[in-house]
């Protein structure tokens, strides 16, 4: 099967077709998502669409919380849940996107549970993608800070054995036409930024008016700041505001008050209760729309009664209300929230933008405490070109690099 792949992508693709565990790594924009998308499409053709469980978090796949449980206890919980046990047992292929965002212990838990439940001839073959020099796992006050995932035994057993391979993609497809920008981003990525790099990046905002700055997509550190900016931008647009309110549907058989309350809480997480839009609003998809991937950025062109016409990369698409189901641990549908699969996206967090490709971007590093390993590189590398980028307030101390991740690439 021929794809428009470069040599490093082709090597990874052939490893996948040969049945190997493939660890897919490389800088932002090197084409990891393109290869992953092709691999998933291949699995759909081989195994059938009805056999795909679609994208979900690791915790949702195993139907366990984020509590720090021993792997043996997680296995017990999975075994006790007949629906989840059946799903895990028949799993043949696992695709893991942005592997470095997952704590090492959870990869060990996943491998242990799948290996214990799946027949030996059908052990899950992870296809993982990511860049350890970008963002790492999100930690809360109750989660411990594990070693990076690429330092755990399961990683070595999966990808550094005869059954696996590490594929380092060497291309630069997002910023392919801007040689200096590619080199600068690579220096930021490795923590080797020069005074000239900082000067050139910060100079992109010289003479920029407030209006010019606000017309660019903004990357923020916290959701609350992004939401406030989006609300203000919407209020400045001319025309009537259309509010698309969700419609919630509780399963008829769900009568117990505690179960109904649980379903109500879950519906608040799968989609917002309403979204206000106007023609001209910049939006992001929260669900696959007309074959386009989740987190595709576009612009609202027309608001209709039950749908919205958006432009995505020059293509007009009618976006309709989508169903977001709430499923319990046994696979039973508890409720459904019918909501518009769009959110405002003049501004977004860097975590939300992970994997996105943006034509224009504005980042003010002086606004917040941006000291987080890989955060500066993850933000800057979303933009296609230096001309599309506005940067202000970037200092050397903002750029923090995970030295373990650097060693991973150097070895």
* Better-predicted residue by pLDDT, 409 or 72: 72
CA 36 – CA 16 distance, rounded (Å): 10
pTM: 0.62
Alpha-carbon distance 152 to 379, whole Å?
27
**Contact status, residue 287 vs residue 323, Cβ threshold 8 Å:** no
Domains identified in the chain and CATH numbers: 7-168 (3.40.50), 179-217+358-410 (no CATH), 223-347 (no CATH)
Residue 50 pLDDT exceeds 70 = no
Q: Which pLDDT score is estimated for 172?
A: 62
How far apart CA 368 and CA 365 sit, in angstroms, is 6
Q: pLDDT at position 345, please?
A: 92
Identify which has the larger pLDDT, 362 or 1.
362
* Weakest mean pLDDT among 20-24, 50-54, 153-157: 50-54
pLDDT value at 33 more than 50: yes
How confident is the model over 288-329, as pLDDT tens digits?
Answer: 888 777 778 899 999 998 899 999 989 999 999 999 888 775
For residue 89, what are the CA distances in angstroms to 81, 113, 117, 370? 12, 9, 5, 42
| Residue 137 pLDDT grade (very low, low, confident, very high; cuts 50, 70, 90) | very low
Residue 114 in contact with residue 91, Cβ under 8 Å?
A: yes
Most confident by average pLDDT, 36-40, 71-75, 101-105, 196-200: 196-200
Percent of the chain exceeding pLDDT 70 equals 81
Q: What is the pLDDT of residue 166?
A: 79
* pLDDT tens, position by position, 103-120: 777 778 888 888 888 766
- Residue 139: pLDDT band with limits 50, 70, 90: very low
């Amino acid at each position: 099967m021929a794809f428009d792949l470069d040599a490093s992508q082709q090597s990874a693709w052939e490893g996948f077709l040969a049945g190997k565990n493939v660890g897919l790594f490389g800088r932002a924009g090197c084409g990891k998502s393109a290869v992953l998308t092709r691999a998933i499409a291949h699995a759909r053709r081989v195994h059938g669409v009805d056999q795909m469980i679609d994208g979900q978090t690791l915790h949702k796949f195993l139907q366990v919380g984020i509590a720090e449980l021993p792997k043996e206890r997680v296995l017990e919980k999975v075994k006790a849940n007949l629906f989840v046990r059946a799903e895990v047992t028949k799993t043949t292929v696992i695709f893991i996107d942005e592997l470095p965002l997952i704590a090492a212990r959870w990869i060990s838990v996943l491998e242990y549970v799948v290996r214990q439940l799946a027949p030996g001839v059908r052990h899950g073959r992870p296809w993982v993608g990511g860049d350890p020099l970008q963002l790492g796992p999100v930690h809360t006050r109750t989660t411990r800070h594990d070693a990076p995932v690429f330092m755990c035994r399961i990683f070595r057993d999966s990808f550094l054995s005869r059954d696996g391979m590490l594929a380092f993609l060497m291309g630069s497809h997002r910023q392919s036409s801007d040689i200096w920008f590619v080199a600068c981003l690579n220096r930021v990525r490795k923590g080797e930024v020069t005074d000239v790099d900082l000067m050139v990046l910060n100079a992109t905002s010289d003479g920029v008016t407030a209006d010019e700055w606000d017309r660019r997509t903004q990357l923020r550190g916290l959701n609350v700041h992004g939401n406030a900016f989006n609300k203000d931008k919407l209020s400045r647009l001319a025309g009537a505001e259309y509010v698309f309110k969700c419609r919630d549907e509780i399963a008829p058989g769900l009568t117990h008050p505690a179960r109904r309350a649980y379903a109500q809480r879950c519906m608040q997480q799968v989609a917002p209760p309403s979204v206000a839009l106007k023609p001209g609003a910049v939006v992001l998809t929260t669900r696959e729309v007309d074959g386009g991937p989740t987190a595709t950025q576009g612009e609202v062109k027309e608001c209709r009664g039950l749908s919205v016409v958006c432009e995505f990369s020059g293509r007009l698409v009618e976006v309709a209300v989508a169903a977001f189901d709430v499923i319990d641990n046994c696979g039973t549908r508890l409720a459904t929230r019918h909501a518009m699969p769009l959110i405002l996206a003049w501004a977004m967090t860097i975590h939300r933008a992970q994997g996105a490709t943006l034509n224009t971007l504005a980042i003010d590093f002086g606004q917040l405490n941006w000291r987080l390993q890989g955060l500066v590189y993850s933000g800057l590398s979303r933009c296609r070109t230096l001309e599309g980028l506005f940067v202000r307030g970037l200092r050397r101390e903002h750029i923090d690099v995970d030295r373990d991740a650097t060693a991973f690439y150097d070895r």
